[in-house]
Structure 1
Amino acid sequence: MVDVVVVGSGAAGVAAAITAARNGASVQVMEKTDQLGGAYGCSGGEVWIPCNDRMVEAGLDDSFEDAVRYVKGLSHDGRFDPALIERFIRKGAKAIRFLEQNSAYRTEIAAANGDHLPRLARSKPTGRLLVPAALDARRVLGGTRRWVRDVPNGKSAVRQGFSETVRSGGPALVTGLVRGALDAGVMFRRNCTVSRLMVESGEVVGTVLDQGADRFEVLARRGVILACGGLVDGQHLVAATSTREGLVWTHEGLRTDVDGRVKAARGGVIDGLYAVGAVAVDVLGDRHPGPGAALGSYLTFGYLAGRHAAHSPVRPVDAQLIV
């Protein structure tokens, strides 16, 4: 039994785990493969974050109002929730600051990339796009670095002239976050699959875990955060859980509120259940404001969900699985 269960060890999931743990929760992360990091462990790791600390340090002008106007100008059909966009823009810089303060992840302003559509009002030619600073995985994680996904050839930074243990891009992002999670007391369980959610009286109170031939029930006193990295895994998990509890899948993923809580079909939210990353409906709708916008929103809502879950009321522990 723990306070918070996180399903998936990608960037959003580990961000949620760090935040929940640093807010006093006991946290266990479930990962179906033998490596941590998900898809973003093999990516460039860029994040689009308006009004970020690196911009302030460099004397670059930006504001909440400018960023909101630019993002809302991108969508031609209104496929976004204004409340979620404003939440992302208002909390994004704070989320990155928190993660940098509580992990080995560090950011730098990308050298050449600005917003996607510079002709739109309040776009910026530079500053909003951040890249992970390179780090030495051997120094940061020691032997545990083998748990963390790298690019396919295992040498994410060699092409930039670094040694083979130095990682850049997405591998640097995930390596830094995993270090922060371990330091915060987060427990990782690899090579396991979450096959069911445990529900009682309409509240999600845990998960059913398959590992090899064994099956376990893992109770979550404060919440379950789905960060399983993709629509297929999320859809299978939702399909295995009773829809009479109001857990309904859309073709775009699970719909969430401003704290990452999953919305119920009957209205309101499903207590104890959060969704962040690619398993949730894209906060930014049909058009992204710049490279790294998806990952920026994933880290932001991972932070928000982890913080909310850590401060949620303790839920009953005598749950029954509803199938």
Structure 2
Amino acid sequence: MDANRSANHAFDFIVIGSGAGSLCAALVMRTAGKRVVILEKTGLIGGTTALSGGVMWIPANRFMREQGIDDSADQAMRYLDAVVGEQQNAPAASRARRRAYVEQSPKMLDFLVEQGLRLRRIPSWPDYYDAPGASIPGRAVVSDLFDVKRLGEWRTKLRPGFIPLPARLEEAMQLPLIKRSGAAKKILLRILGRAIADKLTGRARRTAGEALQGQLLLAALKAGVDIRLDAAVVELLVDNGRVSGVIARIDGTPQRIDARLGVLINAGGFARNQRMLDRYIPGTSASWSSTIEADTGEMIEAGERIGAATAQMSARIGMQIAWPPGSERMQVKAAMQNDICKPHAIVVDRTGVRFARESSSHPEFSERMLARKDTAVPSWMICDSQYLETYMLAGSMPGKKKPQAWMDAKFLRRGDTIEALADACGIDGARLRATIERYNRFVDQGRDDDFGRGDFAYDRWVGDPLRASPDRPSNTLGKIERAPFYAVALYPGDVGTYGGLLTDEYARVLRADGSVIPGLYATGTSSASVMGYTEPGPGGSIGPALTWAYIAAHHALARE
């Protein structure tokens, strides 16, 4: 392609990709009166964020202050110092970048509120690690419900989410309890009431990531952001050492688009690119990912072609998954983190032994699976009849009656004895029995001596809330003792990769020697995470994606 020909279009700022950070950066540019274009290679706005819970991890945020919850940038830094620390193999998680994040993320949030977004704090969602500076009430911020019909003709261009109901995220989390809890039944009635009201009034309220992206899209459209769909960027243009624009294929034709102030890459990671996975995260599969199909990493490679450094390419945001029959083609896989942490269930590897705390966060547990992939991929979730009667399993409601297809496909394995179950899973029966008996002794004594399951605030949050009481040591421990017994295979899926282009505290892309590539910025999973190889709490990906986009746009504006 001839990059020297005259430009087809010229803007002040180009944003590649349409995730949350992209729309945030575009809004910053428009409030400054600048011309900005978003180039999205697919036909839908929202990226993987739209499929997600849309949670943002924002320390010392305005909602915490309003609710009298103590937090500060210094407290958040203590937490990140303890959890992330200084790692030579995680240059994007430098202390300077962590400080920039904890100081700028609340300002980014305030900016979004000023643009008319209705956001709120999840009432309770603890940080993932028991470490100095952790917040037990939690730092998780989400979108309020949003009527997608407000988007008009753009409604069909917003990527659909995973909860097509007017249910707040914390309400949806209570629905598995409806057979056992009067409060949960009331929540269901509240959601159904909203759905009926929406039908009568012509609204279509949505939640989670779809609501966040819908609000951002509406604000961007009102601000006059130019958005081009089916516009795949194929080349970054460099003029006198500075990134000056892009070549994008629009309507099947390569077009040169110039950018006076810079280019921001926010085009996702490479979770759907098996070639890159084999190179950087061997032993993983693109088919395990809950990212969108377009999460294929070509903009990371485009950056590399002009000299950009990459970092932390083996990092990922893991999510243990299962494969119920019929789910093979589903975009969002059957996440199992909330299943394996409930009483009367454990996870063992193929030798029949436990290897991790089942109530740890999904990134941490998936990391443990990959660390022993020779025996733990797949792993086995083991449970008894008490579990099936009480808790959801792989998206099915509580109850022993499961789809016959589950049995026919050997998705759900069954045994009248531990040994029979072990045989059905190809596990040594004596070892599995010894593992279960050891675990049951821990339940009797009220403490898991092997992994500390139930010892931490996050464990108690993901456990069974109806079993929480002062006289019960843990609401995540429960004996496996009532036949028949059941097993489901688990795989270390993901909700995105965590490595990418290396950036500094201003979101500027760096070369391997640490020098800046002028005019080029990156955020989201196109960039190496400020969290290193760790997710400190819910929203450890979306919060930084928005924040570094906000920082990048302000830095580009400061050039004038």
Q: Same fold (TM over 0.5)?
A: yes
CA distance in 1, matches of 2:103, 2:76: 9
How far 1:38 sits from its partner (Å)? 0.3
The change in CA–CA distance for 1:41 and 1:269 in structure 2 (over 3 A counts) is same
Q: Which of these residues, 107, 111, 122, is aligned with residue 123 of structure 2?
A: 111
Q: 2:376 — aligned with what?
A: none
* One-letter amino acid matched to 2:61: N
Q: Which of these residues, 128, 134, 142, is aligned with residue 139 of structure 2?
A: 128
- Is the Cα–Cα contact under 8 Å of residues 60 and 127 in structure 1 kept in the other structure? no
Q: 2:334 — aligned with what?
A: none
Superposed, 1:43-192 pairs within 5 Å as: 43-75=52-84, 78=87, 79=90, 80-103=93-116, 105-117=117-129, 119-139=130-150, 141-151=151-161, 155-157=164-166, 160-161=191-192, 162-163=194-195, 165-192=204-231
The change in CA–CA distance for 1:30 and 1:40 in structure 2 (over 3 A counts) is same
Q: 2:240 — aligned with what?
A: 201
Cα-to-partner distance string for 1:265-300 (whole Å, 9 max, x where unaligned):
343211110001000001111112111121111111
Superposed, 1:36-47 pairs within 5 Å as: 36-47=45-56
- Is the Cα–Cα contact under 8 Å of residues 106 and 132 in structure 1 kept in the other structure? yes
The change in CA–CA distance for 1:116 and 1:267 in structure 2 (over 3 A counts) is closer
CA distance in 2, matches of 1:268, 1:173: 35
CA distance in 2, matches of 1:241, 1:56: 40
How far 1:150 sits from its partner (Å)? 1.5
Q: Which of these residues, 501, 505, 519, is aligned with residue 258 of structure 1?
A: 505
Instruction: Check if 1:302 corresponds to 2:549.
Output: yes
The change in CA–CA distance for 1:310 and 1:184 in structure 2 (over 3 A counts) is farther
Q: 1:213 — aligned with what?
A: 252
Gaps of 5+ in 1: 314-323
Q: Which has the larger radius of gyration?
A: 2
Identical columns (%): 32
* One-letter amino acid matched to 2:152: G
Q: Which of these residues, 19, 28, 43, is aligned with residue 34 of structure 1?
A: 43
TM-score when normalising by structure 1: 0.89
Gaps of 5+ in 2: 1-9, 173-190, 199-203, 274-294, 314-498
The change in CA–CA distance for 1:166 and 1:220 in structure 2 (over 3 A counts) is same
Between 1 and 2, higher relative CO (CA 8 Å, sep ≥ 6) is seen in 1
- Secondary structure of the residue that 2:506 maps to in structure 1? coil
Cα-to-partner distance string for 1:107-129 (whole Å, 9 max, x where unaligned):
21212311112x31121111411
How many residues are treated as equivalent by the alignment? 308
CA distance in 2, matches of 1:53, 1:122: 18
How far 1:201 sits from its partner (Å)? 1.1
- Is the Cα–Cα contact under 8 Å of residues 264 and 523 in structure 2 kept in the other structure? yes
- Secondary structure of the residue that 1:92 maps to in structure 2? helix
CA distance in 2, matches of 1:62, 1:69: 11
* One-letter amino acid matched to 2:155: R
